[in-house]
Amino acid sequence: MIKEIFEHRSIRKYKSDEIDDKVLNSILQAAIRGSNTGSMQVYSIIVTRNPEIKNKLWEQHFKQPMVQQAPVVLTFCADFNRFNKWCEQRNAEPGYDNFLSFFTASVDAVIAAQNAALEAEASGLGICYLGTTNYTADKIIEILELPKGVVPVTTLVLGYPDESPELTPRLPERAVIHYEKYKDFSKEDIDNIYKNTENSELTKKLIEENKTENLAQIFTQKRYTKQNNIHFSEVLLDVLKKQGFPVN
């Protein structure tokens, strides 16, 4: 799967072709084989093919067309519901109604998701992660009827690609890898790390379209604003409390 790792592309346009059950099962089995905390497997995967349910999810994923186009939507959830019930039925008092447990289960769910993504791409499918899962978790919980102890963490759409986009550029290695200890960045380091990204034709086009001075302002003023971050944080914190993972 080294090829899939280095040639990964987020696919946003899909053919209507269905995914064979054998292929889908292989993807799900790959997810299940992912590393997880204490072999507890405190995550769940909701497989959605039903057009009616997909349409409801589409609305909560900011109406991104790929949610309707892709034949399969996988919602990966942090899930202590099952594990808690098992503990209670074995006279073992569970102590997982806390933020650490949610965080643990979230990590497990994301590892499972990445395993699924790699197997899907190795099978000739395209995938795209949906960050909108975290923004509308409360509504997704209602749609998928998730019980207490279960919180959606991330979503993958799966399908046969109807596009072949270029590889998305990545920052240079020195931007994300630190040897032995964290090495903080000087102003010169920051300029050098982002130089190629800021000078690309795509960036110039985005700056013109968004009417900003630079790429950083597109992130802070258009894509991920402080106002939206605070709002969706409050929504998610309320979700965690209602689902049994109070932050304080």
The CATH code of the domain that includes 17 is: 3.40.109.10
Residue 248 falls inside a structural domain: no
**pLDDT tens-digit profile of 126-140?**
999 999 999 999 999
Strands (E) located in the chain: 43-48, 72-79, 126-130, 150-159
The β-bridge partners of 50 are none
**Whether residue 200 is found in the same domain as residue 137:** no
**Whether residue 107 is found in the same domain as residue 189:** no
Burial environment of residue 105 by CB neighbours within 10 A (0 to 12, 13 to 18, 19 or more): buried
**Whether residue 121 is found in the same domain as residue 180:** no
**Whether residue 153 is found in the same domain as residue 99:** yes
Residue 191 falls inside a structural domain: yes
What the block records as the tokens of 101 is: 């447990």
The per-residue pLDDT for 10 is: 96
The overall pTM is greater than 0.85: yes
Residue 161 falls inside a structural domain: yes
Q: Which amino acid, one-letter code, is at 54?
A: K
Residue 30 falls inside a structural domain: yes
How many domains is the chain partitioned into structurally? 2
Range of the domain at 46: 2-165+232-242
**Whether residue 17 is found in the same domain as residue 111:** yes
The per-residue pLDDT for 3 is: 86
What the block records as the tokens of 36 is: 């997880």
Residue 103 falls inside a structural domain: yes
The per-residue pLDDT for 1 is: 67
